[in-house]
Chains A and B, each alone.
Chain A
Amino acid sequence: MSNKSRKEKHVSFKPAKELHKNDYSNNYVHTGSLPQKHVSNIDNTVEGYPKLEKLFQMKGEQVAQYTTTPFGCKVDIDQMVPTINHWIQKEKLTFDVVMIGCLTNNQFIYPLLTQLAMDKLVSKPGFLFIWASAQKINELNRLLSNEAWAKKFRRSEELVFVPIDKDSPFFPGLDQPDHSLIEKMQWHCWMCITGTVRRSTDGHLIHCNIDTDLCIEKKGTNDGAVPSHLYKVAENFSTSTRRLHIIPARTGKDYPVRLRPGWVIMSPDIMLDNFAPGRYRSEIEKLGCNIPMKNEIQNLRPKSPTQKA
């Protein structure tokens, strides 16, 4: 190599002095490449943190170890309230984790919340997750912040789910009214806590700060109508084994509602209808209401919030 070309080469690789920062919003407007696509840890959110990776793996294994049979309960939307009320009154069933709704628009959440004996369905302490469009959550705001409701269920976090692109089954495509100011690209979840739990002392009930309040869709997970992340957040947070998911909406045949071990899923479109309260009760009796503590997990999980540097 000649001296001159070597010098040129050296010059061409000389590092820039100033840092560069991309504007992904501007880039989207000009190229159509969505901002969320540039997030670099979508596939493995805890990339680069071996301790957290280990924790996620162990939590996943332990949750899978303590599960009831996956139960489905195929019920028409208008029969949901009577069915659940029957469970509460006659079968004496309660759940610690109740998730309502999924990532679709035509959901009948309001009638469900107002007609169900929610405080009897959700035990204390218990956790309620309501998934819907941001608009819907906003409409529910009035109900959920009225005094009677807020006394029982304290709003604790607002979660967001982001579809990866416009071809995603979770892209809120039909939720774009013509008068919309910007394109909608997210689903929201209202996480409520009922009863008393303390993050410092109730490690047998809850594990805080494992997941974050944001999830970006992973491509190719083949989840059907409900992304598995929605379940995982609840599973990682609460150690309870009694979990119920109510989907008050028709989700159609293109994306089926799959069963999930450890959950009772009620939906008009669930793939299997095998729920029997008696069998469920006996399974829970055998399993216990909470996943037991495990030292390795206790050591790994974030226990108190890190002081800001």
Chain B
Amino acid sequence: MIDIDLVCFLKENQLGLVALPVLGNLEEICLLYAIDRKIRGEDGEGYTFERFVEVLKRISEAAPGSLKFKNDCLMAEALEFIDETILGRLLLVVTTPYIKYKPVVVKEEKPKLLLDRLTGALEDKPDCRLTRHNLLDQLRTSLDVVPASVELGKERVQNTGSIAEYIPVCANRQHAMLLASYVHIVNNKIVSLQSAKLPKAESYSPRFIECLQSKIHYVPNLKPQTDLSLGDCSYLDTCHKLNTCRYVHYLQYLPESLKTKIANETKQTNNKLSSQRAVPFYVHGNCCSDVVKSQLPEQWIQCDVRKFDFSILGKFSAVIADPAWNIHMNLPYGTCNDVELLDLPLNQLQDEGMLFLWVTGRAIELGKESLEKWGYEVVHEISWIKTNQLGRTIVTGRTGHWLNHSKEHLLVGLKGNPSWLNRRLDTDLIVSSTRETSRKPDELYGLIERLVGPHARKLEIFGRDHNLRPGWLTVGNQLTGTCIHEADVKMRYQKFISNRKADLAKKRVDGTPCRKSTNAFKLRQ
């Protein structure tokens, strides 16, 4: 005999019983059912848990699929899902002889649409708060799920990618002022520290010595002309008038011992990390001979980018371009104009991959247009947050037109749909201090190398000598000489040069004046 009351109970509470806090626990359902019976004034005596399970089993057999137990077995002692529709049908079958308005009942029992079920869960019920929050939480968690490729990529980089020496910076102003009276500065350099006086300082500021031994400090470089009330110099360490400037300047202080300690630790960690490179089974996005292959040394070609044949270079996974945009600026080097830039055949460099384009001000739109013209989609914009010696953003001195500029933009163009990228390891922010005019932060190289893998071919256009880097090929007109290691590139390059020489010679014969010194190339092994 089927317990009709229990079927009704299950049917009515189908959502509540499997949701929190009951979660389909049979013992709790049994208890709730007993309470339900009591409320309806029925006798709860003699209704044991064993009997309850027995009855459940009977219902589940009579209407297959109506009750789903965890792990598909009754021993699991928990219900996972209650199918209201099947239970309704069972109820119908069992009670038909007694019901007169059958068609009406059937209509009500139509399977609900998913939307109805979802909104049903949101209807005002005594436990609606709970359910709604559950739903939201579920939504959030499912949206927050990070693809396994990202998790694995992150883990691999953490366990095999080399780390850079990192020393925290002290943010305590008092430490800096204390230090100012203990350091001995000669020729704008800290030459020594009066360590004998340190214990006394410790009494003003506890843990001072410990901080000194573990962090970088910036010590005010107080000179006779320094006027503390004026505040800090806008140029700080790049100030050209150090000996007359009345604003405050700073000197970096960190103990030699700390530097050596960190250097040794980093070296050890990196040795360990590189020995682990063969370990991960997750090899996606890496070269198949990643572990044994050594990195190509830096390569460079000195050339006028505007007249260069880019087909010499082959194809690349990543390209950086830092053009000197021609925007009413007097820069200490030649700029090529915007049209010339747009006309560069940068569409030849990649079948699929990424192009990183540095842009400023008005060139942001032009840069986006150029990328689209070359076949790229602008997928990201990286901001370089420019900091000064003290790690502060630049708020004075280097003014923009309407607002001060404390960041620069790097457009990231993507061509094709490369599956070999290691995605989402870095963020779209680089925090790094400024250096010489227009010199960009080196952090970008690390970011790209993590994205495309250490052995992918990488190119930098408009590079200068300080941009040379192992694994990268740099081209630009301000480089010194030329150095190519890849045999095929070298061959094509030599052919290009000899063709051009021949052209020049021909022109000379024809009597047309030729430009000077285009053959000042030096091929190095």
Q: Which residues does A use to contact B, with CB under 8 Å?
A: 6, 9-30, 34-36, 38-41, 45-52, 134, 138, 141, 145, 155-160, 162, 173-174, 176, 178-186, 188, 191, 193, 199, 206, 208-214, 216, 233, 237, 302, 305-306, 308-309
Contact = CB atoms under 8 A, between A and B. Distances in A.
B364 interface: yes
A185 B428 contact: yes
Given A18-B259, A48-B232, A237-B402, A29 B431 contact: no
B230 to A, nearest CB: 7
18 contacts: A15-B253, A22-B165, A26-B163, A30-B163, A35-B427, A38-B431, A40-B387, A49-B395, A49-B396, A141-B368, A180-B423, A181-B379, A186-B429, A206-B402, A212-B395, A212-B406, A213-B406, A309-B235
B103 interface: no
Contact of A209 (B195, B404, B421): B404
A19 to B, nearest CB: 5
Contacts of A45: 392-393, 395
B380 A184 contact: yes
B195 to A, nearest CB: 5
B404 A25 contact: no
B399 A39 contact: no
Interface of B: 143-144, 147, 154, 157-158, 161, 163-167, 169, 171, 183, 190-193, 195-196, 198, 212-213, 216, 229-232, 234-235, 238-240, 248, 252-259, 354, 364-365, 368, 378-383, 385, 387, 390-407, 409, 412, 414, 421, 423-433, 442-443, 446-447, 450-451
Contact of A23 (B252, B400, B443): B443
Given A30-B163, A182-B382, A182-B426, A309 B257 contact: no
A209 B403 contact: yes
A13 B165 contact: no
Contact of A188 (B230, B381, B403): B381
Given A15-B191, A41-B395, A213-B407, A25 B147 contact: no
Contact of B259 (A16, A47, A178): A16
A301 to B, nearest CB: 12
B452 to A, nearest CB: 10
Given A29-B158, A38-B169, A51-B231, A212 B405 contact: yes
A227 to B, nearest CB: 16
Given A29-B161, A174-B143, A182-B447, A35 B429 contact: yes
B392 A20 contact: no
Contacts of A20: 165, 167, 216, 252, 254, 259
Contacts of A47: 392
Nearest to B213: A12
A189 to B, nearest CB: 11
Contact of A40 (B391, B398, B399, B421): B391
A291 to B, nearest CB: 18
Contacts of A174: 143
Contacts of B442: 23
A11 B213 CA distance: 12
Given A157-B400, A181-B380, A186-B383, A36 B429 contact: yes
Contacts of B253: 15
Contact of B398 (A25, A184, A308): A308
A21 B158 CA distance: 21
Contacts of B382: 182
Contact of A22 (B166, B191, B421, B451): B166
Contacts of A39: 385, 387, 391-393, 431
Nearest to A181: B423
A188 B230 CA distance: 34
B443 A24 contact: yes
Contacts of A52: 395-396
B407 A25 contact: no
A158 B364 contact: yes
Contacts of A183: 424, 426-428
A57 to B, nearest CB: 14
B428 A211 contact: no
Contacts of B421: 181
B158 A158 contact: no
A239 to B, nearest CB: 14
Nearest to B216: A20
A40 B191 CA distance: 26
B424 A138 contact: no
A176 B146 CA distance: 10
Contacts of B166: 22-23, 26-27
B195 A35 contact: no
A112 to B, nearest CB: 21
Contact of A157 (B195, B403, B424, B425): B403
Interface centre among B158, B164, B252, B398 (most CB of A within 10 A): B164
A291 B257 CA distance: 57
A11 B192 contact: no
Nearest to B190: A15
Nearest to B144: A173
Contacts of B229: 50
Given A13-B212, A162-B385, A28 B426 contact: yes
Contacts of B167: 20, 22
Interface centre among B147, B192, B216, B402 (most CB of A within 10 A): B402
Contacts of A308: 398
Contacts of B392: 39-41, 45, 47-48
Given A23-B166, A176-B424, A309-B235, 7 more contacts: A15-B183, A15-B191, A18-B259, A29-B161, A35-B430, A45-B393, A213-B400
A11 B166 CA distance: 22
Contacts of B213: 12
B365 A156 contact: no
Contacts of B232: 48-49
Contacts of A214: 383, 385, 393, 406-407
Given A46-B395, A208-B402, A28 B427 contact: yes
10 closest cross-chain pairs (CB), A and B: A48-B232, A41-B392, A35-B431, A23-B164, A40-B391, A212-B404, A25-B443, A26-B164, A305-B399, A212-B406
B412 A306 contact: no
Nearest to A37: B431
A49 B231 contact: yes
Nearest to B368: A141
